Structure 1
């Protein structure tokens, strides 16, 4: 299709005076995680795939003045954009975009001494690599990425869809999640050939130049209908700005549909009066690669967790015993609390008849028991539980920093464990196979945290997926009569 459009466009251009070739489009869309206009700095996991097909309508993207009035060279323009992204490594994601001009029409540009435009044509293909610099998955405060891209000079200039030479862009994107909303910002530079449009009165109108591009977006989080608001601005040297708002909603089979519209501001070429974007996208990301822990190494780890070095001055009087709170969390009833001091609850130690197939830690923010929007570890646990042939059990152990009193720390650790349990049960894990325990601040990773990073390690929920160990050898015994 692309080759056919390109050949037809070039054949039509041979009969007229060719316009200086440049790409009229100033709006770039995002491939991968984030909103339709602006990314959020987060990369797809290795093996993740994102494919989208987007339709784009513009009103009055190119208006020139012939000395007597405005000439609407491009009054209406419809384009299509096919894009795909793939996660190669935890810190590397690659993507490609291929645009097409499907239809455009306007006044006759020969009144300005310019050749006629082609109605269709191939746009500028863009290849891009996205590098992850910071990630909230690694307990960084934000997601930060850097994009490096190149635009190939094969677009059709007579359709105002391609520059005369290659173009390059560098862009930084940062994003985070604040409860129900996810803000993101980006800033970059586009390097492209400089093009001037000569008019019949001898003046020159700048058609293309290197640009500074800025963007901001705000999106709601969740799995259902989501709202998006984006702003894109270019400085080159005239200012052009697009403000678009819309929605994104899920479809069956891993598809999403999106619709955005909004006005364009500024007098730069390529800034339309308004735009409308609509399309569908397919997004699929596997859970992180499973790693099976050696049983001997796992027992040594359990012993190390069970006997941490605790400073003597950290011993405090607890108004509520750990045993009583965890008995309530398991739903024990009808039995009287035993008299006398109870054995302190320790982190779970698998028996020789159990095998640990998955272990991980989920961090929490201070004073919060809410999970982040994306928790790959729990999706991996759900997948593993569904594939265990011998059945399995999930142990969830909640922990807290010294955020308050002993009782409040204990309840916070239980709330965190319950939040993880609720997520697993909602994803189909039987409730009878999930056990939770709360430790308060009794088993910190860092006994004397001196930095915020160390305190974050103590605000956690540990997830352990266990299954019955496969016997190394099987013997058959004949019962005695």
Structure 2
């Protein structure tokens, strides 16, 4: 017998003679003829992965009836032999996503009809008509997911073919596991999705004809796929292109498979695909057709830029999901319809001109459409539970009567100082408003309040800042600072204190220790503008630290003192004159308000 050429879709697949006696009939070599693969999740395309996964917890079960015409032809001495002229299979597939980034799948093909020509004189036997195909389990991991900001869907998959198919039905490779890794990527473009996948099929090399011709050797191959699919509709269309590039010398092949799919209800989808094949790779038919259905969570997920399939008539949806629909068919879209479930007028934003509570205010303008109210109050009644003429929505004490100028609350003043308890810092002690209702404190009983008494432990006079007449105080207490009648001196350009500064600093230490109600003082040091700003800031910081250390040595608790150097950044006067520069070289003692971390009046 002389083999002239293997026709398109043939390569004389599986028509090898065994090494037994020439007169005996030959069995086919074991190999997998079927090339049809389903996408278990079916989210983007039925056949090609687009990098997408099912939603977490979703389960999809698919059943497909498939017919392939002339998947295996042989030309012997000018005669075309249909070794496999027709082949009908059922494909069962299931996909499940246990995690948001993980999907598992299983496909089981079953051959239930096959026709072909048997050439007994040449020893070619027709394959059997019934048998199990190669079951394939897969694991798919999502690496990237497109979102509203852009990006792509990217996933990796590893499929494993189990050596359980029927060898006599051309439905199994030799007895070993078959590996098929894939990488798939896709992107959504509004009403379209596009994706590609690249896979590698690992299978053993073997010759399929008696004479070992390089074109008759099957083995490892690259499998490619591309798909374009519509989105956002109950009836969707897709076009799939699938091909193979053999890593042996056998010819390649490709198929184009357009199809349609229709969502019957959220749990059932039906679909059909037809296609033609080009090339002479094993299992590539002249044409193939398939119809099937999917069950489970089959409503396609709404992706970025896509409209929801649920917005098609007859499918359950929310008005927020479908803002462009018109639920009540009144000509006003859901997104702007104020009464989306009741027909109304366009002029009334989709509502009808009715007044449910008969208060003279249309429901569309009525803030309380089911309760009679006042027109001036947008159809709502004025609520005033305590009858104090202050509406409840602005009454801080809605269950207790009180004047409007007190936010509807009763006036409470336990110490009779004219300040409400809720505003009185000392609600049980009489005190002036400037002290937030707290009494003045006068430790030495000289009628000079502690807050302005420079000698808080010695009786004195107001004119002498609370000190005895024979003492000349060097520190005057102000609301926010200690005002020095002297000056703090340092060695020129240095941080070391001069001895003539000790007297005034001793007074500062005395006043601070006698006023424990003032918890924190800020020692602020400043310079003039001569020199570099950074150097001046460092110099002033050092001087502030020197003053702080002196006061600590005089018994002032260190936690009550904070040092800060400001350099030349906060001049008190102009640096254009020598007097101005002299006044800018200064040290200030600021009283820090513990409530707001800023200067404030002591108590």
Query: Which TM-score band applies after superposition, normalised by the shorter structure?
Result: 0.5 to 0.7
The one of 143, 167, 183 equivalent to 1:172 is: 183
Q: For residues 208-236 of structure 1, what are the alpha-carbon distances to aligned partners after superposition, in whole Å with 9 as ceiling and x for unaligned?
A: 31110111111111232111111000111
Cα gap change, 1:255/1:375 in structure 2, threshold over 3 Å: closer, same or farther? closer
RMSD: 3.5
| Structure 1 match to 2:34 | 25
The offset of 1:198, in angstroms, is 2.5
Change (3 A) 1:60 1:224: same
Q: How many residues align?
A: 304
In structure 2, do the counterparts of structure 1 residues 262 and 234 end up closer, same or farther at CA, with 3 Å as the change threshold?
A: same
Q: Aligned-pair distance for 1:255?
A: 1.0
Name the counterpart of 1:116. Answer: 126
- C-alpha change, 1:274 and 1:242, in structure 2 (3 Å) is same
Structure of larger gyration radius: 2
If the length of structure 1 is used for normalisation, what is the TM-score? Answer: 0.57
**Corresponding residue for residue 306 of structure 2:** 372
Could you tell me how far apart the structure 1 residues matched to 2:204 and 2:292 are?
31
Higher alpha-carbon deviation: 49-58 or 236-245: 236-245
Using the alignment, how far apart are the partners of 2:131 and 2:27 within structure 1? Answer: 14
Residue 46 of structure 1: aligned partner:
56
1:216/1:131 CA distance change after superposition, 3 Å: same
Q: Residues 455-470 of structure 1 correspond to what in structure 2 (within 5 A)? A: none
More strand by share: 1
- Which of 282, 297, 318 in structure 2 is aligned with 1:269? 282
**1:138 Cα shift?**
8.0
Residue 168 of structure 2 aligns to a residue whose secondary structure is helix
Whether the aligned pair in 2 keeps the contact of 1:42 and 1:144 (CA below 8 Å) is yes
Give per-residue Cα distances to partners, 1:78-100, cap 9 Å, x unaligned. 01100000001111100000001
Given the alignment of the two structures, is residue 229 of structure 1 paired with residue 257 of structure 2, yes or no?
A: no
* Higher normalized helix content (fraction of residues): 1
Which deviates the most, 67-76 or 121-130?
A: 67-76
Which of 229, 237, 243 is the aligned partner of 2:256?
A: 243
1:126 is aligned to 2:136: yes
1:282 corresponds in structure 2 to: 295
Structure 1: gaps spanning 5 or more residues: 1-14, 289-361, 365-370, 377-381, 386-393, 395-417, 435-481
Residue-by-residue CA offset, 1:141-180 (whole Å, 9 max, x unaligned): 1111111010001111110111112111111111111122
- Per-residue Cα deviation, 1:269-298 (whole angstroms, up to 9, x for no partner): 21111111111112417999xxxxxxxxxx
CA contact (8 A) 1:197 1:205 kept: no
Any conservation in 2 of the 1:66–1:112 contact (CA below 8 Å)? no
Which position in structure 2 is the counterpart of 1:326? none
Instruction: Compute the displacement of 1:195 (Å).
Output: 2.8
Cα distance in 2 for residues equivalent to 1:42 and 1:163: 30
Unaligned runs of 5+ residues in structure 2 are 1-23, 311-315, 341-603
**In the alignment, which of 131, 141, 146 is matched to residue 136 of structure 1?**
146
Whether the aligned pair in 2 keeps the contact of 1:101 and 1:122 (CA below 8 Å) is yes
Deviation of residue 110 (structure 1)? 3.5
Does 1:214 pair with 2:224?
Answer: yes
Equivalent position to 1:184, from 195, 201, 209: 195
5 Å-filtered alignment, 1:147-162, equals 147-162=157-172
Looking at both structures, which has the greater relative contact order when contacts are Cα pairs under 8 Å and sequence separation is at least 6? Answer: 1
